[in-house]
């Protein structure tokens, strides 16, 4: 017991003396979580893309286009603002992500079927957000170009009406509307989905934006899976020590002290579980700071320990199958990454394809992530995650025992 405690203390001390190693393992899932949150999140926590629109053409059509962008009260992450000439100075000062310029002559060129260009000035100090605006604008340009070709006759007639001083004839407008409707009907299947999307945004109906996930909601969805991935990384790093100690002769030296093989391996298992649980615990704490309610502490603690046991067992078993630190690294990395992919660490479990679920259920990631999502999203308690705790604990202890047994057998055979 004394020797076991000494080994556990030493392993924990080694982690304490290597804050870089700890930080790396903690940072990886957080970085991934941040990327996912930025990619899929909106509104809620203040992420926004400020876009300025400068209408130099100043025609009814350009006014319509600028107004369509700028009149929305809530466009989700887009904060569109119609500006005058001061817009150029604003973008130069870095006050927005992009400036969309509708240049003089745009309407004439568009209605006459000539190439018409919108200009986009991007904020050079930003990288991703202006790119997002550019992509959106390209999509818009495609829609306008298709409209220009499909509605050529009607646009010509509309152009003449704009240039004429006289008041437009209602009958002409009615006939033109009918023809436009007929043409749109013929291409409805292809055009309407994007047009409809556009119209929903243009209508100023904030419902769609409100329904979009907030960064906090994305974190709540993604963090459990990524924290489980981090747990596996911690377990991988901790179990890798077993092979490193073997390869460097440290195990052989240790066993010259009054320590049995069983005590050594048990101490290593306990140390791995503690390190993994502490790492996971830190991520839970960070999640709490980000506003995530993980659920009842007792349930969280029980699930955490079960998950840490399972992760440690899996990694110890894998390490016991390998012959060196290098091969242990290769095998454990492959298994951890595949588990993460199919087990809900990279793709949230609720949107995981159904055909993957049977495979997913074979992973630590699935059961641990499923348990935490039950606590976080469904407001579940300890009783709701007993299956997950049972599966993880049982499998974890079985794998720990099998891995330790294999390693002990190897050490006793002299492979130490």
Partner 1 sequence: MLTVQGLTRCFGQVRAVDGISFEVRDGEIFGLLGPNGAGKTTTISMISGVLAPDAGQVLVDGVDIWERPKQVKRMLGVVPQEVAVYEDLTGRDNLVFWASLYGLKGADRRRAIDEALERVGLADRADDRVRDYSGGMKRRLNLSMGLIHAPKFLLLDEPTVGIDPQARLAILDVVREVARGGTTVLYTTHYMDEAEKLCDRMAIIDRGEILASGTLDELTRLAGEGDVLRVSGSFGAEDLRGKIAGIDGVEISRIGDGFALLSVVPEGPGLAQLLPRLLDGEAGIDDVSIQRSNLESVFIALTGRALRD
254/407 with CB nearer partner 1: 254
- To the nearest whole angstrom, how small is the minimum distance from the Cβ of residue 242 to partner 1? 14
Strands 78-83 and 98-102, how do they pair? unpaired
Give yes or no for residue 18 binding partner 1 (CB under 8 A).
Answer: yes
For residue 52, what is the enclosing H or E element?
strand 49-55
Closest CA to 360 of 330, 378, 340, 331: 340
Q: Where are the alpha helices (DSSP H) in 187-296?
A: 188-202, 207-211, 215-247, 250-254, 261-289
DSSP secondary structure letter of residue 48? -
Closest CA to 117 of 91, 89, 138: 138
**What is the pattern of x (binds partner 1, CB under 8 A) and - over residues 257-286?**
xxxx--------------------------
| SS3 call for 187 | coil
Give yes or no for residue 149 binding partner 1 (CB under 8 A).
Answer: no
198/416 with CB nearer partner 1: 416
Tokens of 351: 């949107």
Look at the alpha carbons of 385, 398, 230, 5 in this order and tell me if their dihedral is positive or negative.
positive
| SS3 call for 116 | coil
- To the nearest whole angstrom, how small is the minimum distance from the Cβ of residue 395 to partner 1? 32
Give yes or no for residue 10 binding partner 1 (CB under 8 A).
Answer: yes
- To the nearest whole angstrom, how small is the minimum distance from the Cβ of residue 1 to partner 1? 11
Tokens of 253: 């030296």
- To the nearest whole angstrom, how small is the minimum distance from the Cβ of residue 326 to partner 1? 18
| SS3 call for 82 | strand
Specify whether the CB–CB gap between 392 and 310 falls below 8 A. yes
**What is the pattern of x (binds partner 1, CB under 8 A) and - over residues 196-235?**
----------------------------------------
User: Apex CA 195: angle with CA 194 and CA 197, to 5°?
Assistant: 65
- CB-CB neighbours of 79 under 10 Å: 15
Give yes or no for residue 14 binding partner 1 (CB under 8 A).
Answer: yes
- CB-CB neighbours of 1 under 10 Å: 8
Please count the residues of this chain forming the interface with partner 1, following the rule CB under 8 A: 26
8/91 with CB nearer partner 1: 8
- Residues between 232 and 261 with contacts to partner 1, criterion CB under 8 A: 248-250, 252-260
Cα separation, 362 vs 243, whole angstroms: 26
- To the nearest whole angstrom, how small is the minimum distance from the Cβ of residue 20 to partner 1? 10
Q: Quick one: which of 12, 121, 136, 416 contacts partner 1 (CB under 8 A)?
A: 416
Give yes or no for residue 2 binding partner 1 (CB under 8 A).
Answer: yes
17/114 with CB nearer partner 1: 17
- To the nearest whole angstrom, how small is the minimum distance from the Cβ of residue 250 to partner 1? 5
Give yes or no for residue 414 binding partner 1 (CB under 8 A).
Answer: yes
- To the nearest whole angstrom, how small is the minimum distance from the Cβ of residue 92 to partner 1? 50
18/178 with CB nearer partner 1: 18
Cα separation, 261 vs 5, whole angstroms: 14
4/51 with CB nearer partner 1: 4
Q: Which residues bind partner 1 (CB under 8 A)?
A: 2-3, 5-7, 9-10, 13-14, 17-18, 248-250, 252-260, 412, 414, 416
């Amino acid at each position: 017991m004394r020797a076991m405690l000494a080994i556990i203390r030493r392993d924990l001390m080694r982690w304490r003396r290597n804050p870089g190693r700890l930080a790396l393992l903690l940072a990886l899932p957080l970085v991934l979580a941040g990327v996912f949150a930025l990619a899929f999140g909106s509104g809620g926590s203040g992420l926004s893309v400020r876009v300025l629109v400068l209408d130099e053409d100043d025609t009814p059509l350009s006014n319509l286009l600028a107004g369509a962008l700028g009149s929305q009260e809530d466009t989700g992450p887009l904060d569109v603002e119609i500006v005058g000439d001061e817009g150029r100075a604003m973008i130069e000062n870095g006050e927005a992500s992009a400036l969309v310029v509708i240049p003089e002559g745009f309407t004439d060129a568009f209605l006459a079927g000539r190439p018409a260009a919108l200009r986009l000035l991007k904020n050079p100090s930003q990288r991703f957000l202006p790119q997002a605006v550019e992509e959106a604008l390209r999509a818009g340009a495609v829609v306008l170009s298709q409209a220009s070709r499909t509605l050529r006759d009607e646009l010509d007639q509309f152009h003449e009406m704009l240039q004429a001083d006289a008041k437009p004839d209602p009958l002409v407008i009615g006939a033109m509307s009918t023809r436009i409707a007929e043409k749109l009907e013929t291409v409805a299947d292809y055009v309407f989905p994007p047009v409809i999307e556009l119209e929903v945004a243009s209508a100023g109906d904030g419902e769609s934006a409100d329904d979009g996930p907030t960064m906090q909601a994305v974190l709540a969805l993604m963090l459990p899976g990524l924290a489980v991935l981090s747990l596996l990384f911690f377990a991988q790093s901790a179990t890798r020590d077993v092979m490193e100690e073997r390869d460097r002769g440290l195990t052989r030296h240790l066993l010259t002290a009054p320590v049995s093989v069983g005590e050594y391996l048990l101490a290593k298992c306990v140390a791995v579980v503690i390190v993994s649980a502490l790492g996971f615990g830190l991520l839970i704490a960070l999640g709490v700071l980000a506003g995530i309610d993980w659920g009842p502490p007792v349930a969280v603690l029980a699930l955490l320990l079960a998950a840490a046991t399972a992760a440690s067992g899996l990694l110890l078993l894998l390490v016991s199958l390998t012959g060196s630190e290098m091969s242990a690294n290769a095998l454990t990395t492959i298994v951890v990454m595949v588990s993460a992919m199919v087990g809900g660490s990279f793709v949230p479990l609720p949107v995981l394809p159904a055909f993957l679920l049977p495979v997913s259920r074979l992973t630590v990631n699935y059961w641990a992530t499923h348990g935490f999502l039950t606590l976080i999203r469904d407001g579940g308690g300890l009783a709701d995650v007993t299956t997950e705790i049972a599966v993880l604990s049982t499998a974890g202890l079985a794998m720990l025992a099998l891995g330790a047994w294999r390693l002990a057998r190897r050490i006793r055979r002299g492979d130490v």
